[in-house]
Amino acid sequence: MATVTAKDVKALRDRTAAGMMDCKKALQENDGDMDKAAEWLRKKGLSEKDKKSGRVAAEGTVHSYIHMGGKLGVLVEVNCESDFVARGDDFNDFVKEVAMQIAAASPRWIKREDVPADELAKEAEIFKAQVIEQGKPEKIADKIVEGKVNKWYSEVCLMEQPWVKEAKMSVEDLRANVVQKTGENVTIRRFTRYVLGEGIEKKKENLAEEVAKMNDAARAS
What kind and span of H or E run contains 112?
A: none
Span 20-41, pLDDT tens digits: 888 888 888 888 888 888 888 8
Q: Which of 171, 22, 125, 152 has the alpha carbon at shortest distance from 30? A: 22
Confidence class for position 1, pLDDT limits 50, 70, 90: low
164: DSSP letter: T
Q: How far apart are CA 56 and CA 107, in angstroms?
A: 25
Pairing of strands 59-67, 166-170: unpaired
CATH fold group of domain 59-112+157-220 = Tetrahydropterin Synthase; Chain A (3.30.479)
Span 60-109, pLDDT tens digits: 999 999 988 899 999 999 999 999 999 999 999 999 999 999 999 999 99
Q: How far apart are CA 64 and CA 73, in angstroms?
A: 7
What kind and span of H or E run contains 154?
A: helix 138-156
Q: Is 16 exposed, middle or buried (0-12, 13-18, 19+ CB in 10 A)?
A: buried
Share of the chain above pLDDT 70, in %: 86
Instruction: State the pTM of this model.
Output: 0.68
CATH fold group of domain 116-155 = GTP Cyclohydrolase I; Chain A, domain 1 (1.10.286)
Sorted by where each begins, the domain ranges of the chain are 6-53, 59-112+157-220, 116-155
Residues 6+ away with beta carbon under 8 Å from 165: 97
CATH of domain 6-53: 1.10.8.10
- By three-state DSSP, how is residue 2 classified? coil
